[in-house]
Chains A and B, each alone.
Chain A
Amino acid sequence: MSEPLKQADIDQEIAARAGEPGDHPARDYAPYRSTLLRHPKQPLVAIKDPEAAELTGPVFGVSDVTPFDNDLTKQHLGEPLGERITVRGRVLDRQGRPVRGQLVEIWQANSAGRYLHQRDDHPAPLDPNFTGVGRCLTDDDGNYLFTTIKPGPYPWRNHLNAWRPAHIHFSLFGTAFTQRLVTQMYFPGDPLFPYDPIMQSVTDERARQRLIADYVHDLSEPEFSLGYRWDIVLDGPTATWMEEGR
């Protein structure tokens, strides 16, 4: 039997790829072992069709979201355990224009680092007052807001002693299907960042920093919650870009 893969092995692999340019992770990022059989080896085929259906995208409205959906601390009879936080920010396109009235979905582990999911067997307690799921629509300035609790870090089996830094999963839509984004928001100063192959898959330092929210003291509410701010910029062409001949 082969030796279990150690953090030191993964650290070496991460170091070998560090600094590679790019706004997004390469899909063939071996330090995250699950990528090995799940990335295409053929190059992507470019489509430059101004009529492409993907330059339009799904729309959502008030019937798709209820007003309670963005407060993850109020979805059960009692309050969840943990550090209450608010996370807010704007969803923008690459021109800096707000993405209005679009769906933002989040999911996360509870404060002990456990997901409400049958396949999460981390022996940390479930919280009967926390599902860890939220959604909202952006307002006319592209703003979103969630009230939740700070998720805990948790172990996973990429290698021996692998731990994910605390994070909130985000799913975002733009005006075009090409702008679709699923990503993860991290918390500033987490000591687990350098050890995590998923976060380090964003090999460009400045790009990686864009995954980390800011703690903003003025957004903390006295006697209630700590405030974080995280703006999100969606990639990908839109119908207007095409009209402008980009």
Chain B
Amino acid sequence: MNPTPSQTVGPFYGYALPFPGGGDLATGGIAVHGYVYDGAGDPVPDALLEFWQADEHGSLAGAPGTLRRDPTNGAILGRDGVRFTGFGRVATDLDGHWTLRTVVPPNGYISVCVFARGLLHHLFTRIYLGQDAFLDSLPPERRQTLVAAEEREGVYRFDIHLQGEKETVFLDFG
């Protein structure tokens, strides 16, 4: 069957998609943070990032409960802090910044899906927390765009450049 085409997320998803604690997959692990930039080098204040990853044992089974709800008033309570759901969602701040708190997956990378106003079809990339054979297959000058830099113990920096000299490597799964 032919697929339904993509369309931009637009600027007005705020009440629908982000939720409190969307970037807090786990406590006591690592933090990854950074900025999203456009082709002029300006921060993108209305990007939405989604993250998907294995748990610390390598399981990609995920778990429900990312959006756990209060049955009394319908409010979003968020994750219960015990089950690792594997999924995160963070809207960039007005300065284009985002933060994710999670655990290191044994396969070494966190999958990222990027949405934004002006982006008609989402983009996939990966945050690598160390070296990997896939990185070795990339041209050296672009490889580093997928590698998070350790700023201090347990805190990593990963910027996403949608366009330009520092353009991030984006992925096609076919």
Chain A residues close to B by CB (< 8 Å): 23-27, 29, 32, 34-42, 44-49, 51-66, 68-69, 92, 94-96, 103, 105-107, 109, 115-117, 119-120, 131-133, 135, 169, 171, 177-178, 180-184, 198-199, 201-202, 206-208, 210-211, 232-237
8 A Cβ contacts from B3-33 to A: 3-17
Known contacts A42-B169, A61-B64, A235-B3; 5 further A-B pairs (Cβ under 8 A): A58-B87, A177-B52, A183-B6, A211-B7, A233-B3
Task: Say yes or no: A47-B171 contact (C-beta < 8 A), given A53-B54, A53-B60, A94-B3.
Answer: yes
Task: Say yes or no: A38-B5 contact (C-beta < 8 A), given A56-B60, A57-B52, A66-B74.
Answer: no
The answer on a CB contact under 8 Å between B120 and A26 is yes
Please give, as numbers and ranges, the residues of chain B lying within 8 Å of A41 by CB-CB distance.
39, 163, 167
User: Could you tell me the distance in whole angstroms from the C-beta of A193 to the nearest C-beta in chain B?
Assistant: 13
Chain B residues close to A by CB (< 8 Å): 1-17, 38-40, 42, 44, 50, 52-54, 60-69, 71, 74, 85-87, 105, 107, 109, 111, 113, 115-124, 134, 138, 142, 162-163, 167-174
- The list of the 4 closest CB pairs from A to B, nearest first, reads A61-B64, A34-B118, A58-B87, A107-B16
Give the distance in Å from the alpha carbon of A116 to the alpha carbon of B170 in the complex: 33
Please give, as numbers and ranges, the residues of chain A lying within 8 Å of B60 by CB-CB distance.
53, 56
The answer on a CB contact under 8 Å between B85 and A37 is no
Task: Say yes or no: A40-B162 contact (C-beta < 8 A), given A59-B64, A63-B65, A210-B5.
Answer: yes
The answer on a CB contact under 8 Å between A233 and B64 is no
Give the distance in Å from the alpha carbon of A68 to the alpha carbon of B17 in the complex: 17
Give the distance in Å from the alpha carbon of A116 to the alpha carbon of B144 in the complex: 40
Task: Say yes or no: A237-B173 contact (C-beta < 8 A), given A63-B64, A63-B65, A132-B15.
Answer: yes
Give the distance in Å from the alpha carbon of A95 to the alpha carbon of B3 in the complex: 10
The answer on a CB contact under 8 Å between A133 and B15 is yes
The answer on a CB contact under 8 Å between B118 and A32 is yes
7 A–B pairs (Cβ distance < 8 Å), ordered by A: A32-B118, A53-B107, A105-B16, A117-B15, A132-B16, A180-B113, A199-B7
Which of these, A39, A48, A95, A232, contacts B174 with CB under 8 Å? Answer: A48
Task: Say yes or no: A64-B67 contact (C-beta < 8 A), given A25-B5, A206-B2.
Answer: yes
Give the distance in Å from the alpha carbon of A210 to the alpha carbon of B120 in the complex: 16
Task: Say yes or no: A38-B171 contact (C-beta < 8 A), given A53-B52, A182-B115, A207-B5.
Answer: no
Which of these, A27, A92, A119, A135, contacts B120 with CB under 8 Å? Answer: A27
Task: Say yes or no: A180-B1 contact (C-beta < 8 A), given A27-B119, A57-B62, A58-B62.
Answer: no
User: Could you tell me the distance in whole angstroms from the C-beta of B112 to the nearest C-beta in chain A?
Assistant: 10
The answer on a CB contact under 8 Å between A178 and B173 is yes
User: Could you tell me the distance in whole angstroms from the C-beta of A203 to the nearest C-beta in chain B?
Assistant: 10
The answer on a CB contact under 8 Å between B167 and A40 is yes
Task: Say yes or no: A25-B7 contact (C-beta < 8 A), given A38-B44, A182-B122.
Answer: yes
